[in-house]
Amino acid sequence: MSPKSDTGELRVLGIETSCDETAAAVVLRRGPGNGEILSNLVRTQLDDHAAFGGVVPEIAARAHVEVLDVLIKQAMDEAGLIWGDLDGVAATAGPGLLGGLLVGLMTGKAIAVAHGLPILAINHLEAHALTVGLCEGLEPPYLLLLVSGGHTQLLTVRDVGAYDRLGTTLDDALGEAFDKTAKLLGLPYPGGPEVEQCARKGDETRFDLPRPMMGRAEAHFSFAGLKTAVRRRAEEVAPLTDKDIADLCASFQRAVCDVMIDRTATAMALYEKTLGRNAERRLIVAGGVAANQAIRTSLEHLCAEKNYTLHVPPATLCTDNGAMIAWAGAERLVRGLVDDFTVPALARWPLDPNAAPAIGAGVKA
């Protein structure tokens, strides 16, 4: 398929089912950095998984099946569109839980086949990376810090489809570290907001916890050791009082903030080195952990010091949603990066640092 004219308007349906949120949205792309969300519906499965202290893949896949068709219909109705008004269907094809991905991608393909529309198989990470174009009209290049329950990455976003991974986690994702820390302290799932709230009442200097990876030349992360250190301290002072829990949360969050500042500063230097004069000093933070105020404040200070502007999409677009999938789909569609109907769902699908995509149909980032 040839690229659409960049002046033409595109209406794209976006479907997201990679984890524990079922989401459908319709986005109108008027031009570069000019998008409008016509509808954006998210059905969270939190209650389905809460009893297990984490996401259960089989439960997630079944829950997606139960609500996805109704949610898509609602998204179309709210947007005031009929199928014939659409220019394409975008569905998350990875990375994520395979069962859920299959539900969303197969549904997207079925709609596209039935209505003669192109299918856009979206990399979930790419969608997070491009969201700031939808909400702020910001176009690459910029530096991205993606921090969610499944991912912790620092990426140079050079262009749509062109990403350099500067850093990633060697073990747990940051959101996962928050969730596991919460669990071992007896706090409910998802743990991030709980830890943040408890930390507000705590003494961040009481427990001297490790700051893994600090000072390393590469911008990688590691959180497993930090989590284990919290466990050891908790065992030492058990039985835990509310004060102990608050102090452990505050000390943990302080360590995380110190790590985030150090790792992001390292990534800034790498970003500037690779892009040279083209390195626009802009840091985008996306993913559920971007909601954490303490981390955000730390990054604000860092950005002020390094002369960067900080951009954090609103919470509804930072966490998993269909609008970011639809927008990424529109960005690919306008470039002719349409997929074949044989495109598979992929549990693992990194935005490979060195694999800049060839231009053409079916090519993925």
Q: Which residues bind ligand KG4 (CB under 6 A)?
A: 19, 148-150, 175-176, 178-179, 190-193, 196, 287-289, 291-292, 319-320
Q: How far is the CB of 148 from Zn ion (least distance, A)?
A: 5
Residue 148 found at the interface with Zn ion (CB under 5 A): yes
Please state whether 235 falls in left (phi above 0), alpha (psi between -120 and 50) or beta.
Answer: alpha
Judged by CB, which is closer to ligand KG4: 76, or 105?
Answer: 105
Query: What, of ligand KG4, Zn ion, none, does residue 319 touch, CB below 5 to 8 Å by kind?
Result: ligand KG4
Judged by CB, which is closer to ligand KG4: 4, or 165?
Answer: 165
Judged by CB, which is closer to Zn ion: 328, or 330?
Answer: 328
Query: What, of Zn ion, ligand KG4, none, does residue 104 touch, CB below 5 to 8 Å by kind?
Result: none
Instruction: Name the token pair of 187.
Output: 């706090």
DSSP 7: T
Pairwise CA distance, residues 12 & 75, whole Å: 11
Kindly state the helix (H) or strand (E) to which residue 111 belongs, with its residue range. helix 98-115
Residue 222 found at the interface with Zn ion (CB under 5 A): no
Judged by CB, which is closer to Zn ion: 153, or 251?
Answer: 153
Judged by CB, which is closer to ligand KG4: 158, or 211?
Answer: 211
Q: How far is the CB of 95 from Zn ion (least distance, A)?
A: 10
Judged by CB, which is closer to Zn ion: 164, or 320?
Answer: 320
Query: What, of ligand KG4, Zn ion, none, does residue 172 touch, CB below 5 to 8 Å by kind?
Result: none
213 close to 220: Cβ distance less than 8 angstroms: yes
Query: What, of Zn ion, ligand KG4, none, does residue 313 touch, CB below 5 to 8 Å by kind?
Result: none
255 close to 226: Cβ distance less than 8 angstroms: yes
Judged by CB, which is closer to Zn ion: 161, or 287?
Answer: 287
- Residue 252: CB partners within 8 Å, gap ≥ 6? 181, 195, 199, 207, 209, 226, 230
Q: How far is the CB of 275 from Zn ion (least distance, A)?
A: 25
Query: What, of ligand KG4, Zn ion, none, does residue 164 touch, CB below 5 to 8 Å by kind?
Result: none
The b/e string for 41-76 (b: 16+ C-beta within 10 A; e otherwise) is bbbebeebbeeeeebbbebbbebbbebbeebbeebb
Q: Does a cis peptide bond (omega within 30 degrees of 0) precede residue 141?
A: yes
Kindly state the helix (H) or strand (E) to which residue 225 belongs, with its residue range. helix 224-237
Q: How far is the CB of 55 from ligand KG4 (least distance, A)?
A: 9
Q: How far is the CB of 161 from ligand KG4 (least distance, A)?
A: 21
DSSP 221: B
Query: What, of Zn ion, ligand KG4, none, does residue 193 touch, CB below 5 to 8 Å by kind?
Result: ligand KG4
Pairwise CA distance, residues 209 & 5, whole Å: 54
Give the number of residues in contact with Zn ion, rule: CB under 5 A: 2
Q: Contact letters (x/-) for Zn ion, 293-322, by CB under 5 A?
A: ---------------------------x--
Pairwise CA distance, residues 240 & 246, whole Å: 10
171 close to 223: Cβ distance less than 8 angstroms: yes
Query: What, of ligand KG4, Zn ion, none, does residue 213 touch, CB below 5 to 8 Å by kind?
Result: none
Pairwise CA distance, residues 78 & 13, whole Å: 12
Q: Which stretch binds Zn ion (CB under 5 A): 90-98, 147-155, 195-203, 224-232?
A: 147-155
Number of C-beta neighbours around residue 174 at 10 A: 28
Amino acid identity of residue 51, one-letter, is: A
Query: What, of ligand KG4, Zn ion, none, does residue 95 touch, CB below 5 to 8 Å by kind?
Result: none
Judged by CB, which is closer to ligand KG4: 87, or 172?
Answer: 172
Instruction: Name the token pair of 238.
Output: 């058990």
Pairwise CA distance, residues 88 & 65, whole Å: 21
Interface residues with Zn ion (CB under 5 A) are: 148, 320
